[in-house]
Amino acid sequence: MPARPGILIPRGQPGFPRDLAERTPFTTRQRVHRRARQRARQQTRRVARTVAIGLGAATLALGVVVAASLLAASTYFEVREIEAVGLERVGATELKMAAGIVPGANLFSINPDRVQARLEALPQVKRAQVIRELPNRVTLVIEERVPFALAQAGGLIWVDEDGAVLEDQPRPVSQPLPLISGLSAEELTPGRRTPSDRLRAALVLLRLILRTGGRLPSEISEVDVTRPDAPLLFTLEGIEVRLGSEGWEERLGRLDGLLAQLKSQNEPVESVDLRFQNLVVLRPKGK
């Protein structure tokens, strides 16, 4: 007998599917929510810390301003003594006037950089340092410019080793170095700090003469820089020496020996030319 198709009868109706998005006690305690709350608390703490730092900085700045005002108004810090150290050529009165510090001024109102600039503007001052000492003392430490050589432009004028023009020399004086000649009055303006090219060349030559030693410092009487390309030397006997524009140190060494030889042989010479390598050209007097 043919089998009848079976009829599948469910044993029961399924219920309505549960809403998976529905919050349960398990989901309400997940870490996602705890992390969010932690981030919010951290952000709040950061804002509070920033505000606290800002308030602290503002309070500190206000305190500094108030303290500075109190110090500036206090008579305890009024300047009562100004001392100058290192003076030999500059007068103490002149220096203190140039500093511009008024006795009784508040120590904290003095600007050391400005006072230093005023002092170094003096022709005789090379470097200056201003020291404020509590409670009421100021010390001016001075390095003076030292006269190095005399230059001639109408009258005699001292220059230091850097080429700064110092002061006039009203009377003739004996000097250990040759006289620098051939410069203009503009190049030797008192107070000028930057030397001209010709004065700079003359100073280089003077230092080389000193370095060579021997008889040269006492035998050379003049360095003439009239010609900008090459200076001329003149000895005490009036001998004109041509060195050229280069190789001065080697040529000065030859000149030292040559002058000693000429003096020993008693040969009157009008000029000496050392511009040629391994060759000395002499011009006897009267020829």
Q: Do 190 and 219 touch, CB atoms closer than 8 A?
A: no
**Residue 210 pLDDT:** 92
Residue 160, pLDDT score: 95
Residues 137 and 172 in one domain: no
- Conformation bin of residue 214: beta by default, left when phi > 0, alpha when psi is -120 to 50: left
Neighbouring-strand partners of residue 276:
279
Task: Tell whether 184 and 140 lie within a shared domain.
Answer: no
Name the pairing type of β-strands 147-153 and 155-160: antiparallel
Low-confidence ranges of the chain (pLDDT < 50): 1, 3, 6-7, 9, 66-68
pLDDT at site 9 = 47
Q: Is residue 255 part of a domain?
A: yes
Residues 151 and 275 in one domain: yes
**pLDDT number for residue 67:** 47
Per-residue pLDDT, 179: 95
pLDDT tens for 45-95 read 776 677 667 666 666 655 555 444 555 567 888 999 999 999 998 999 999
CATH number of the domain where residue 205 is located: 3.40.50.10960
Domain assignment of residue 280, yes or no: yes
Among candidate residues 144, 160, 183, the one where a domain is terminated: 144
Number of domains in the chain: 2
Report the alpha-carbon distance of residue 90 to residue 5 in Å, rounded.
135
Per-residue model confidence (pLDDT) at position 151: 96
Q: Is residue 6 part of a domain?
A: no
How is residue 30 written in tokens? 């997940």
Containing structural domain, residue 122: 77-144
Identify whether 24 is part of a domain: no
Residue 241 and residue 127 in one domain: no
Q: Are 152 and 139 within one domain?
A: no
Q: Which residue, chain included where needed, has tokens 């206090």?
A: 74
How far is the CA of 115 from the CAs of 83, 96, 119, 131, in angstroms? 14, 10, 6, 10
Q: Is residue 205 within 8 Å of residue 178, measured between CB atoms?
A: no
**216 shares a domain with 97:** no
Residue type, 264: S
Which tokens belong to 263? 């003096």
Of 99, 121, 144, the position where a domain reaches its end is 144
